[in-house]
Amino acid sequence: MIRVGIIGASGYTGAELLRLCAGHPALRVELATGDTQAGTRVASLYPSLSAAYPDLVFAGYEQGVADGLDVVFCGLPHGASQAIVPGLLGKVGRVVDLAADFRLRDPSLYPTWYGEAHEEPDLLRESVYGLPELFRDELSDARLVAAPGCYPTAATLALAPLVRDGLVDVQGIVVDAASGVSGAGRPPKPNTTFCTVDEDFTAYGLLGHRHTPEMEQNLSRAAGGADVSVLFTPHLVPMNRGILATCYARPTAEHTTEALLTRYRSAYAGEPFVVVTDGSPSTKATLGSNTVHVTVRADERTGWVVAIAALDNLVKGASGQAVQCANILCGLDETTGLSTVGVYP
């Protein structure tokens, strides 16, 4: 049995990790911290977890509380992991961080996009970006994995086959993506209350959303180091879960939709968590699963290529992705404990 700790277990990603670990045959949760809920039973905050964790209580985080565990997941707000992860490394087997603290390789990007300097730049060189479909070979020996979140995962998997094969111009890529409200986290905010979100559809983070450089970094690596520029606009939609990313790029030569779909099927052949579909991906089709649905179109009339991806932002866009990485780190089949089938209706 693999002994697991979840730092920041009281948030939505932490609750999803608890749910996934409860159904995992090899992961056993021995520690769940949540400073704002310390002393509260997990079942009281999340009744959906009552059957799996009737007696588990959220603990406060203290240095050393996770020592000796095999895998520690960090589900903390951005910036908090930088203070905790250095003290975990060497004291626990592996660390999988779900925040953006260790995702960007260039430390100079953090002041621009996150408003503050990175406190542990040396660890940026060590951390492995946890998107198995692109970087699986780098994961097995990692002691620190930075698991990507929902927007970068959706956009990267939608566009990677195009940029990797030089099928589109990597300058001026446009990503329009919509997210369910759970992507904003559990703590209440004025812009995520029911009365604000219900019956509304709004764009935010205009021209400066912090996930932009992460998308550019991923696509640059897929393109062999080419300079990639992305215009990213996120939107908030009145649903609990889901990401839908619609991406636009200019082709470098004439393509047909049929030929591009064939390329995508080849690129993702054997990938257990990617479905290439002839239809239009839908968020509900991925609900509760660790699967991404992708498609692509060539528009001869306008000269654009359109690539679309849908996923569950709390599973493949967060906690499921982290478990997928942990499976690889622990030598398990990466599909262990993860569903490829969505919940419907």
Return the active site residues: 150
Print the SS3 string covering the chain: CEEEEEECCCCHHHHHHHHHHHCCCCEEEEEEECHHHCCCEHHHHCHHHCCCCCCCECECCCCCCCCCCCEEEECCCCCHHHHHHHHHECCECEEEECCCCCCCCCCCHHHHHHCCCCCCHHHHHHCEECCHHHHHHHCCCCCEEECCCHHHHHHHHHHHHHHHCCCECCCCEEEEEEECHHHHCCCCCHHHCHHHHCCCCEECCCCCCCCHHHHHHHHHHHCCCCCCCEEEEEEECCCCCCEEEEEEECECCCCCHHHHHHHHHHHCCCCCCEEECCCCCCHHHHCCCCCEEEEEEEECCCCEEEEEEEECCCHHHHHHHHHHHHHHHCCCCCCCCCCCCCCCC
